[in-house]
A and B are shown apart, each in its own frame.
Chain A
Amino acid sequence: MPSEPDYLGASLEKRFRTDIEPLLSEFCFGCHSEKRSKAGVSFEGLHNVFDMLAIEGDFWAARELINSHDMPPPDEPSPTDHQRQLINEWIDDVLSYYPADAEIDPGWFTIHRLNRSEYTNTLRDLLYLDDAHKVTGQLPPDDTGYGFDNIADVLSTSTLQVEQYLEAAERAIELALGPVVEVGAGPAPVRPIELGNGSNRLSRGGSFMYTNSEARAQIDVPVEATYELSIEAWGTRAGDDLPRAVILIDRKRIASFDVAGTQGDEETHTTRVTLGSGTHQVSVRFVNDFYIEGEGDRNLAIENITLAGPVPEEPIARTEGYRQILAPAHGALTTSDEHGAASAVLERFATRAYRRPVAAQELAGLLAVFRSARGAGDTFDPALRVALSAVLVSPNFLYRSVDNTASDDPGTRYELSGYELASRLSYFLWSSMPDDALLASAAAGTLAHPDELIMQAKRMLQDPRSEALINNFTGQWLLLRNLDGMEIDPDRFSTFDESLKRDMENEARLCFADAVRGNRGILDLLDSDTTFLNERLAGHYGIPGVEGDAFRLVELPSESPRGGVLTMGAVLTVTSNPTRTSPVKRGLFVLDEILGTPPPPPPPDIPPLEQAAKQSGEHATLREQLQLHVSNPTCAACHRRMDPIGLAMENFDAIGRWRDTYSENQPIDASGSLPDGVIFNGPSELKDFLLSEPDRFLDNLTSKLLMYALGRGVEPFDRPTVHAISTRVREEGYNLQVLIEEIVRSEAFRTCRGKEGT
């Protein structure tokens, strides 16, 4: 063990000196000092965090006894509930302190249900279905834990969820493969035939046209292909010409023919026509009516219109999903080995869906589903679709797992297989399934090598699918997803609309994406000379010279307070209330999301702020109202840290616009100081303060991204992992790409151990 604790250890020691030791001295040293050490326990003379860890067992016991009010004994002076809580929280923190250079513990892997966005993206890639979100809209939202919605331990599975999976599987298959089409289908009558002026209904439903007229009908085709349109007609002859018919589709002339047939001896004219999917209007026109009294009467009768097809010789416009998934089967079908064809399709599909080779038993089960549907009367294509939808409801598709039967023994280590790593990597960077290249690397056995893993990661970050990492991570870390639900008062903030919300979100995402692509350092997320703006957002910020709707990189004017996430409209808005700013929420955001040191939750029975409001008068500023936090010792411990940070951002209103005064013409005081004496005034000095200890931010970002990558909460035992990653990132100049690579390279990512049985 080192003799010097790191900064976390140092801060625990500092808290001990200022907050805890005085309490122990007041309530405990009477019996548990170096001199008396009743029951062999003394809390005196603890010089550093290692001294404290040395009496771990005593602290555990003390925590229990303090909590149950058995200590101090009833006849001794008793701490308040809040003081008990302070002591216990500190004990928790000390006991969960891992020195940064302790041995690496990779943690466990819990079977991981795909969350909503992972499921949607996976359907997209598996089924070649760009609008997969259309079928996943009704899935219940995912449970969140640690601020993320991809935490395996937290993601539960309800009946409703599985019902929706079943529903979504059926819809997705239909959408992806297109409707079931019977190629080479025989002629089917098109009904009803509508009559034009100058015609009569024939007994079988057709049209008898005694002047130039038109018979019309609607035809509905499932897929773009070539069909055979047949017209059964006869005529009455007069004059020199035969009755002439013209066929139009959607009012466009496609063919014409003379009708020589007569009633009882009808003739059928067949035309091939290529039709797009959907509804079309077919018309048959009689164009050469002839009538001279005594000389004769030329008329045209249409008895029947039929449509056959699609014809097998001509191309059929299939969906990409159909071509990729089902079409190979139809090739195989020509050998009339239906079973073999189904087997080939299912094996290929299930291998991609399960993200690993499919087992013989699994394939046999899928074929049984296919056979059962065939047996019940479904034709080949629909029966195969039933089996394909079964794949999409299989737990092997819906869950990612690792094949570690010893997963209840914390003492065992397990190295993820190539396929398991491929999934872990692709769900981290793409929130989706591995692509063929990644699966090929897994199959070849090369992925287990860290260099290959990193190479794949680099390749994947260049792929557009890595947008998922940017959206899902920033959406949760920076609370961007909360923007949607913000009910900002439209009277006070009339410019706040959907477009502005989207713009705010875009700015934050583009800056993070810029860092992911290596153009922007991690510390640039705290403060930067540039940002991404369009005209509307620039106007919102009061920055001139940006025109148009498109976002572009903008060099910020030197006097601009913007740059970095804290001064982005998105962050400033989600940390506000509907009608006003909330310095408390902004302070909390910095402590929690930036520094990773969230204060403990507020104590119970918070006294109402009524007195404060009365004392400080009707027009008390927010700062004056917040003063009460500091005058009340229960609140002060945390609010002395939160409130000044939030107040430093008071020049930004509840939707992030700059202001010099409150609307009541009260000037804004954005100065503040922290308990340890740090003084700042306004957002720029606040940023300078945060940048003065860059490693706190780095450690926090590492923890958050590691949590997201592993899909589990980061625990105290992860500290050495976080430390090792952060150290590398610092050496490489705070580069976000390096952070991602180091996470992928870490033992926590590539291996796991068992978890204590529950």
Chain B
Amino acid sequence: MSRDTDHAGNQPPVESQWLGKPLSRRTVLRGLGVTMALPWLEAMASGSHALAGVASAASGTASAGLAAGGHPLRTAFIFAPNGVNYEHWLPTQGAGREFTLSPTLEAIAPVRDRVNVLTGLTLDKARANGDGPGDHARSAASFLTGQQARKTAGNDIQIGVSIDQFVAQQVGSKTSLPSLEMGCEHGRAAGSCDSGYACAYSSNVSWRDEDTPVAMQTDPRAVFERLFGDSDSKKARAERLRRRRSVLDYVLEDSRRLENGLGVSDRHKLDEFQTAVREIERRVSHAQESSPPLPDHDRPDGVPREIGAHIDLMYDMMLLAFRMDMTRLSTFMLGTAGSNRAYPELGIKEGHHNLSHHRGDADMIDKIRRIDRFRVERFAKFISDLQATPEGNGSLLDNCTILYGSGISDGNRHDHHDLPILLAGNGGGRIDTGRLVRYKRDTPLCNLYVSLAEQMGCQVESFGDSTGPLEGLKHA
């Protein structure tokens, strides 16, 4: 079999890469081009508060978190490590709808009408601010938190809640999973990570609170099973939920007993466990009440060997989760901060991070550009798939907002201003796309997060180092 490669012109067709039966991309995206029953309506109808939300939305006014027509809004954040080669990223000509794509961004040409290119946004908290080196760790740690990471090798991690979790904590209870965290690689297995920063900073962008990262999954099969479980029948699933509920009741009770014998700092540790158990209880109840549909496609076989196929499959999982309204928030780390992965399928054998410090070497710069372009191609393909997925009278992309970017602008210089940021999708009509929007230098990236959180229906005064919502998402 071969996979679709229509948006990856320079990619050879990918051969069967997994052990066992390869997954057909067609199977995963079986929903494409097919008008299907909207599972989220079914799920929402079972909860009265959610029903009220549909009613008010259906009456014509787009209420917060929903698009006109009652479709839920979804938001995703894609983290690309190591920044980009900025000269090839930045569009130099034009503004608004009239601008010339840069060499790297030519990859978004097929979907440029549905993407905004934002310049001038800054992540001040990724800067040293007196903490010395560690730009890579900080660039991931502050990417969605807008907070300065406490410099520590482990004992006393401190950062802050990330925007996806902030939103999920307010609106996540409407779906089976409040949020979905994915990545293509886990942090390093041994040794310290970046200049005195704990590995947790480099390996996570999602933070539940100031010291608890939200673990991510890198195996598409595991993501699939998390979304849909591994039972093939409704009866088996119902029995399993019933048993799990009883197990969780016991575990929570046990955990309270244990807590009584502990001091404050130990209780804080155990608190993480109890929070997790309560969240799973909520999911079990949700599933028992709403009895979500069985997935309409095969489960992936595991992690593809080639990075391009891996990225595509993770995007597929995100699309699936959004399409079936299993979650409305997702984060995806293409790699951990400072990732030193090679890209053999692009003929690049050197590590990405090593290449990013190219010392002006033309060959190394060329390789960086190819990696940048490759990553944007995968993203454009994802956006194109979202666009091709029908929802209501339009497409799934109409009701999505997908941010793609890095916490470092140029990988050679470790800058944290003028970040490379793409914003795709129309946020249920709240965002006009197809534009190059230039912001004043040092405009906080967090201003964008304030706008996105409001759009998702959250109460938000400020977030991170924001100075207000971000102007200009609607065409003036």
Q: Judge whether A395 and B254 touch: CB under 8 Å.
A: yes
Whole-angstrom CA separation of A359 from B257 in the bound complex: 10
**Nearest Cβ on chain B to A721's Cβ, whole angstroms:** 17
Nearest CB to that of A488 among chain B residues?
Answer: B349
Given A138-B219, A578-B349: A373 and B246 within 8 A (CB)? yes
| Residue contacts A-B, CB under 8 angstroms, 14 given | A111-B262, A138-B225, A146-B192, A154-B154, A154-B200, A158-B214, A159-B276, A378-B243, A389-B243, A394-B250, A406-B263, A476-B191, A485-B188, A604-B133
**Interface residues contributed by chain B, number (CB under 8 Å):** 82
Whole-angstrom CA separation of A578 from B341 in the bound complex: 10
Cβ-neighbour of B190 out of A395, A396, A475 (below 8 A): A475
Whole-angstrom CA separation of A162 from B247 in the bound complex: 12
Q: A389: which B residues are within 8 A, CB to CB?
A: 243, 247
Q: Judge whether A403 and B188 touch: CB under 8 Å.
A: no
Whole-angstrom CA separation of A152 from B265 in the bound complex: 12
Q: Judge whether B349 and A491 touch: CB under 8 Å.
A: yes
Nearest CB to that of B206 among chain A residues?
Answer: A158
The interface-forming segment of B7-15, B266-274, B452-460 is B266-274
Whole-angstrom CA separation of A747 from B277 in the bound complex: 36
B181 at the interface (CB under 8 A from A): yes
Q: Judge whether A408 and B265 touch: CB under 8 Å.
A: yes
A141 at the interface (CB under 8 A from B): yes
Q: Judge whether B189 and A485 touch: CB under 8 Å.
A: yes
Q: B219: which A residues are within 8 A, CB to CB?
A: 138
Whole-angstrom CA separation of A577 from B195 in the bound complex: 18
Q: A610: which B residues are within 8 A, CB to CB?
A: 359-360
Q: Main SS of chain A's interface residues?
A: loop
**Nearest Cβ on chain A to B162's Cβ, whole angstroms:** 13
Contact with A along B340-357 (1 / 0, CB 8 A): 111010000111001001
**Nearest Cβ on chain A to B414's Cβ, whole angstroms:** 8
Question: Beyond the given A161-B276, A365-B250, A487-B340, could you list 12 further A-B residue pairs with CB under 8 A, ordered by the A residue number?
Answer: A145-B155, A158-B213, A158-B276, A160-B215, A369-B247, A394-B250, A476-B190, A479-B190, A485-B189, A491-B349, A577-B350, A601-B195
Nearest CB to that of B247 among chain A residues?
Answer: A390
Given A482-B189, A613-B360, A757-B264: A577 and B349 within 8 A (CB)? no
B212 at the interface (CB under 8 A from A): yes
**Interface residues contributed by chain A, number (CB under 8 Å):** 89
B163 at the interface (CB under 8 A from A): no
Q: B251: which A residues are within 8 A, CB to CB?
A: 390, 393-395
Given A372-B246, A613-B359: A161 and B130 within 8 A (CB)? no
Q: A-B pairs with the 4 shortest C-beta distances? A: A145-B154, A407-B263, A601-B195, A162-B276
A519 at the interface (CB under 8 A from B): no
B53 at the interface (CB under 8 A from A): no
Q: Judge whether A111 and B189 touch: CB under 8 Å.
A: no
Contact with A along B60-73 (1 / 0, CB 8 A): 00000000000000
Q: Judge whether B216 and A140 touch: CB under 8 Å.
A: yes
Whole-angstrom CA separation of A163 from B341 in the bound complex: 29
Q: B31: which A residues are within 8 A, CB to CB?
A: none
Interface hits, A40-59 → B, CB 8 Å? none
Whole-angstrom CA separation of A577 from B215 in the bound complex: 29
Whole-angstrom CA separation of A579 from B262 in the bound complex: 51
Q: Judge whether A487 and B342 touch: CB under 8 Å.
A: yes
Whole-angstrom CA separation of A295 from B93 in the bound complex: 103
A421 at the interface (CB under 8 A from B): no
Contact with B along A82-109 (1 / 0, CB 8 A): 0001000000000000000000000000
Cβ-neighbour of A160 out of B153, B192, B226, B255 (below 8 A): B226
Q: B361: which A residues are within 8 A, CB to CB?
A: 613
B244 at the interface (CB under 8 A from A): yes
Whole-angstrom CA separation of A201 from B264 in the bound complex: 75
Q: B102: which A residues are within 8 A, CB to CB?
A: none
Cβ-neighbour of A156 out of B133, B196, B272 (below 8 A): B272
A197 at the interface (CB under 8 A from B): no
B128 at the interface (CB under 8 A from A): yes
Q: B277: which A residues are within 8 A, CB to CB?
A: 162
Whole-angstrom CA separation of A362 from B251 in the bound complex: 10
Q: Judge whether B360 and A143 touch: CB under 8 Å.
A: no
A325 at the interface (CB under 8 A from B): no
**Nearest Cβ on chain A to B130's Cβ, whole angstroms:** 6
**Nearest Cβ on chain B to A552's Cβ, whole angstroms:** 28
B132 at the interface (CB under 8 A from A): yes
Given A154-B154, A577-B351, A613-B360: A111 and B270 within 8 A (CB)? yes
Interface hits, A559-614 → B, CB 8 Å? 577-579, 600-606, 608-610, 612-613
Q: Judge whether A754 and B254 touch: CB under 8 Å.
A: no
**Nearest Cβ on chain B to A405's Cβ, whole angstroms:** 6
Cβ-neighbour of B186 out of A111, A141, A366, A606 (below 8 A): A141
Given A157-B272, A159-B276: A146 and B247 within 8 A (CB)? no
Interface hits, A102-149 → B, CB 8 Å? 110-111, 113, 138, 140-141, 143-147
Contact with B along A737-758 (1 / 0, CB 8 A): 0000000000000000011011
Nearest CB to that of A588 among chain B residues?
Answer: B191
Q: A157: which B residues are within 8 A, CB to CB?
A: 269, 272-273, 276
Q: Judge whether B254 and A365 touch: CB under 8 Å.
A: yes
A484 at the interface (CB under 8 A from B): yes
B309 at the interface (CB under 8 A from A): no
Q: B249: which A residues are within 8 A, CB to CB?
A: 369
Q: Judge whether B246 and A369 touch: CB under 8 Å.
A: yes
Q: A757: which B residues are within 8 A, CB to CB?
A: 263-265
Q: Judge whether A153 and B154 touch: CB under 8 Å.
A: yes
Whole-angstrom CA separation of A158 from B209 in the bound complex: 11
Contact with A along B403-416 (1 / 0, CB 8 A): 00000000010100
**Nearest Cβ on chain A to B78's Cβ, whole angstroms:** 19
Whole-angstrom CA separation of A151 from B157 in the bound complex: 13
Contact with A along B273-309 (1 / 0, CB 8 A): 1011101100000000000000000000000000000
Q: Judge whether B350 and A143 touch: CB under 8 Å.
A: no
**Nearest Cβ on chain B to A4's Cβ, whole angstroms:** 31
Nearest CB to that of A140 among chain B residues?
Answer: B215
Q: Judge whether A67 and B246 touch: CB under 8 Å.
A: no
Q: Judge whether B189 and A141 touch: CB under 8 Å.
A: yes
B159 at the interface (CB under 8 A from A): no
Q: Judge whether A386 and B212 touch: CB under 8 Å.
A: no
Whole-angstrom CA separation of A600 from B130 in the bound complex: 15
Whole-angstrom CA separation of A369 from B344 in the bound complex: 52
**Nearest Cβ on chain B to A86's Cβ, whole angstroms:** 11
Contact with A along B26-52 (1 / 0, CB 8 A): 000000000000000000000000000
Nearest CB to that of A625 among chain B residues?
Answer: B359
Q: B211: which A residues are within 8 A, CB to CB?
A: 156
A376 at the interface (CB under 8 A from B): yes
**Nearest Cβ on chain A to B173's Cβ, whole angstroms:** 13
Q: Judge whether B262 and A405 touch: CB under 8 Å.
A: yes
B113 at the interface (CB under 8 A from A): no
Q: B275: which A residues are within 8 A, CB to CB?
A: 159
Interface hits, A380-409 → B, CB 8 Å? 386, 389-390, 393-396, 398-399, 401, 403-409
Q: Judge whether B258 and A396 touch: CB under 8 Å.
A: yes
Given A110-B269, A373-B243: A602 and B186 within 8 A (CB)? no
Whole-angstrom CA separation of A600 from B231 in the bound complex: 52
Whole-angstrom CA separation of A369 from B243 in the bound complex: 9
Contact with B along A601-634 (1 / 0, CB 8 A): 1111110111011000000000000000000000
Q: Judge whether A143 and B200 touch: CB under 8 Å.
A: yes
